[in-house]
Structure 1
Amino acid sequence: MRALIMATALLLGDQALAAPSQAQVDSGRRLFARCAGCHDTGPGARNGFGPQLNAVVGRKAGSAAGYAYSPALKASSLVWSEQNLVAFIRDSEKVVPGNKMRFLSFMSEKQAADIVAYLRVHGVAAPPPRR
Structure 2
Amino acid sequence: MNKIILAGLMSALMPLGAMAEGDVDAGEKVFKKCKACHAVGPNAKNRVGPVLNGIVGREVAIIEGYKYSKAMKASELTWDVETLTIYLANPRKFVKGTKMAFAGLKKDDDLENVIAYLAQFDLEGNITE
Q: Give the TM-score of the pair, scaled to structure 1.
A: 0.77
2:65 is the counterpart of 1:72? no
Say whether residues 1:27 and 2:35 are aligned partners: no
Asked whether the equivalents of residues 90 and 105 of structure 2 are also in contact (C-alpha less than 8 Å), the reply is no
Q: Which runs of 4+ in 1 moved over 6 A?
A: none
Q: Per-residue deviation at 1:20?
A: 3.8
Which position in structure 1 is the counterpart of 2:10? Answer: none
TM-score by length of structure 2 reads: 0.78
Query: What is the distance in 2 between the residues matched to 1:90 and 1:67?
Result: 23
Aligned alpha-carbon RMSD (Å): 1.8
Distance in 1, matches of 2:20 and 2:100, equals 28
Deviation, structure 1 residue 96: 0.8
Distance in 2, matches of 1:119 and 1:18, equals 11
1:89 is aligned to: 88
Verify the 8 A CA contact 2:20 2:115 in the aligned structure 1: no
Aligned length: 110
How do residues 1-131 of structure 1 correspond to structure 2 at under 5 angstroms?
Answer: 15-18=16-19, 20=21, 24-123=23-122
User: When you count helix as a share of all residues, which structure comes out higher?
Assistant: 1
The structural deviation recorded for 1:105 is: 2.7
